[in-house]
Amino acid sequence: MRRSGLPFVLTITATVAIACGNGAPAGPSPQMPPPQSSSPVLTLQVNEVSCCNRASFFEVPWAAYSFCRTIQNTSSVRTATYTARMTVFGEDGTAYVTSDFDGERTTIAPLGGLFGCGGFVRDFDSTHKLGARYTYRIDYSLDDGTSGFLEGSAPIKADSLVTGVVINEFRSRGPRGSADQFVELMNITTEPISMNDWVLQVSSSTGTTGQFGFVNGTIGPGCTFLLTASPERGIGTYSGSVPGDWHLPATLTDTIGFALRVKSGQVVDQVAMGADTVFKEGAPLAPFGGDNSDRSYTRDGPDTNNNARDFRMTAPSTPRNSTMCSTR
For the domain that residue 96 is a member of, what is the CATH number? 2.60.40.1470
One-letter amino acid identity for 59? E
Residue 123 domain-assigned (yes or no): yes
| Residue 234 sits in the same domain as residue 310 | yes
Decide if 4 is inside a domain: no
What single letter denotes the amino acid at residue 74? T
Q: Quick check: is 327 in a domain?
A: no
pLDDT at residue 110 above 70?
no
Report how far apart, in Å, the C-alpha atoms of 133 and of each of 29, 90, 118, 121, 163 are. Answer: 12, 7, 20, 13, 19
- Residue 94 sits in the same domain as residue 194: no
Whether residue 157 contacts residue 17, with contact meaning beta carbons closer than 8 Å, is answered with yes
Q: What is the mean pLDDT of residues 248-252?
A: 91
Query: Which carries the bigger pLDDT value, residue 65 or residue 174?
Result: 174
Contact 10/2 with Cβ under 8 angstroms? no
Q: Where among 157, 177, 193 does a domain terminate?
A: 157
Please tell me the distance from the alpha carbon of residue 36 to that of residue 60, in angstroms, as a whole number.
45
- Give pLDDT, residue 2: 32
CB within 8 Å of 298: residues ≥ 6 apart: 168, 169, 311, 312, 313, 314, 317, 318
The stretch 222-237 carries a mean pLDDT of 93
- Residue 285's pLDDT is 96
Whole-number Å distance between alpha carbons of 106 and 93: 32
CA 300 remoteness from chain centre: 23
pLDDT digit string (tens) for 296-320?
999 999 999 899 999 999 999 999 9
63 and 43 fall within a common domain: yes
Q: What is the pLDDT of residues 40-53, one digit of tens each?
A: 455 655 555 445 66
Query: Which pLDDT value is given to residue 67?
Result: 65
pLDDT at 75: 63
Among the residues of the chain, which ranges form H helices? 307-310
Mean predicted confidence (pLDDT) in 53-69: 72
Q: Is the pLDDT of residue 102 over 80?
A: no
84 and 227 inside one domain: no
- Asked whether residue 151 is assigned to any structural domain, the reply reads yes
- Structural domain including 233 reads 165-321
| 151 & 19 share domain | yes
Instruction: Based on the fold, state whether residues 143 and 95 are members of the same structural domain.
Output: yes
User: Given a cut of 90, is residue 171 above it in pLDDT?
Assistant: yes
In a domain, 175, yes or no: yes
- Is residue 3 included in any domain, yes or no? no
234 to 116, 170, 200, 237: CA distances (angstroms): 55, 20, 18, 8
CA atoms within 13 A on the CB side of 124: 7
- For residues 106-115, give the mean pLDDT: 55
Share of the chain above pLDDT 90, in %: 36
- Residue 146 sits in the same domain as residue 178: no
In tens, the pLDDT along 139-157 reads 888 777 777 777 767 777 6
pLDDT digits (tens, 9 = 90+) for 253-284: 999 999 999 887 888 999 999 888 888 898 99
Q: Are residues 138 and 247 in the same domain?
A: no
Backbone phi, psi, residue 309, to 5°: -85, -25
Asked if the model's pLDDT at residue 229 lies above 80, the reply is: yes
pLDDT digits (tens, 9 = 90+) for 16-46: 344 444 433 333 333 443 333 323 455 655 5
DSSP state of 177: B
The band of 292, judged by pLDDT with boundaries at 50, 70 and 90, is: very high
- Both 116 and 218 in one domain: the answer is no
> Among 136, 157, 178, which residue terminates a domain?
157
178 and 86 in one domain?
no
Residue 206 has pLDDT above 70, yes or no: no
- 190-194, Cβ contacts within 8 angstroms, sequence gap of 24 or more: 190/221, 190/222, 191/164, 191/221, 192/218, 192/219, 192/220, 192/221, 193/162, 193/164, 193/165, 193/218, 193/219, 194/218
- Is pLDDT above 50 for 215? yes
101, 188: one domain? no
Boundary of a domain, candidates 124, 157, 190: 157
For the residues 245-257, what does the mean pLDDT come to?
92
Domain count across the chain: 2
- Statement: the pTM of the whole predicted model exceeds 0.85: no
H or E segment to which residue 46 belongs: strand 40-47
Q: CA 232, CA 170: separation in Å to the nearest integer?
A: 20
Decide if 135 is inside a domain: yes
Tell me the pLDDT of the chain averaged across its residues. 78
| Residue 145 sits in the same domain as residue 184 | no
Residue 57 has pLDDT above 80, yes or no: no
Confirm whether 1 is domain-assigned. no
The CATH number of residue 316's host domain is 2.60.40.1260
